[in-house]
A and B are shown apart, each in its own frame.
Chain A
Amino acid sequence: MQFSFPAELLYPVIFSLTFPITLAVVSRSRLLRGRNAAQFFVASLVHLAAWVGGSLFLPAGYTPHGASGWLISSMVVGSFLMIYLEAWALLSRGYTLAMLLALLESPSPLAADAIAARYRSGDGLEWIFRHRLAGLEAAGMIRKEGADLALTPRLGAFVVMLYRVAIAVFGLRKTG
């Protein structure tokens, strides 16, 4: 097995390092203000389009060769995007980090209840709950039935089945 770095992977690697700039520009769009998931999604689409477009104009030897060359190059770009997504999710949705920020904004020590009340700049801890439930409801996995929350028989049950398969495949004993 040889260790020389393939020229066709240079562009995907170097170009992927510029994604934070694309994301910073897109996140300033007024249309996407406050919509963190959409900001990342749009930035990713712009990035992917620029990568494919740029790849077509590279000198010979630097362009991906054949279907498997494109596959490996796209996996490089995809790997970087997943790392950025993980960091973005932490910054925009991180539960513990949001609690640290609530403490940072307070001039004095806070009781646990006060941290909960000041969570997400005063939206309160219930916000995370309502937000997650709204997402599940919009996706058709749960529905409200009066004061109860019910699992939908098809999609909800199907997702739970996949979840149970994933727990078994990963060998997990405890989740959540």
Chain B
Amino acid sequence: MNVTDVSLGITWFLIYLTAVYAAIRSWPQASPAVLAVLIAAAITIAAAVVAPAIPLKANYWRVFATASFLMLVYLMVFGATYKSISLHILHDLWQTPSRKLPIEHILARYIQKESFSARIQVMLEHGWATQSSQGITLSPKGRWLARSVRFVQRLYNIEKSG
């Protein structure tokens, strides 16, 4: 019976994989990370609705455990591919004919320009910070978030992060 559960879990995951691929290609303006998470939630709900009609001797929770595990592995690899600065640097080195770039060029491009500016933009867009002529400051929402993070970091003895 467990073999049927695992097989159905793998099938569920493959449907998810296909749906995310199709969604990312169909809606290039949408955030791929948001699409991947939303589709995972949608497929999980849909599976719970469809499951009773599946004429197989299987257990929903075992199937769910298998599919969830595979989807989480997928999301971890997806997240690394989508956001990793390290992988992006490696890729850009590979794209040059000599397979090398000046260190200062990489520092200026990835850290000071692209990534840093993008993160500032994220803070402003999410309403965590506001910008004025004096500079950037935390909004009440951002202050609450930062304090919550600081609290959990202290709970787990994380002295520095970044």
Contacts and interface: CB of A to CB of B under 8 A. Distances in A.
Given A33-B157, A71-B6, A103 B137 contact: yes
A170 B57 CA distance: 33
Interface of B: 2-3, 5-6, 20-22, 24-25, 28, 32, 51-52, 54, 56, 58-63, 65-66, 68-69, 72-73, 76-79, 81-91, 93-94, 98-104, 106-107, 110-112, 114-117, 119-120, 122-123, 128-129, 132, 134-138, 142-143, 145-147, 149-150, 152-153, 155-162
A129 B94 CA distance: 18
B122 A141 contact: no
Given A1-B63, A119-B162, A149-B100, A109 B115 contact: no
Interface in A2-29: 2-6, 9, 23-24, 27-28
A99 B123 contact: yes
Interface residues of A, number: 87
A112 interface: yes
Given A96-B123, A100-B142, A170-B81, A75 B107 contact: no
B43 to A, nearest CB: 16
Nearest to A85: B76
A92 B160 CA distance: 7
Contacts of A3: 51-52, 59-61
Nearest to B6: A68
Nearest to A98: B162
B89 A148 contact: no
Contact of A36 (B76, B78, B93, B158): B158
A75 B162 contact: no
A91 interface: yes
Interface string A151-175: 1010011011001101101111101
A34 B155 CA distance: 14
B62 A6 contact: yes
B2 A96 contact: no
Contacts of A97: 145-146, 149, 161
B6 A72 contact: yes
Most chain-A Cβ atoms within 10 A of its Cβ — which of B5, B63, B100? B100
Nearest to A43: B156
Interface string A104-124: 100011111011100111010
A70 B112 CA distance: 48
Nearest to A135: B86
A29 to B, nearest CB: 9
Contacts of A150: 93, 98-100
Contacts of B162: 93-95, 98, 119-120, 123, 127-128
Given A66-B2, A71-B6, A172-B81, A27 B158 contact: yes
A68 B62 CA distance: 10
Nearest to B70: A75
Contact of B65 (A9, A119, A141, A157): A9
B143 to A, nearest CB: 7
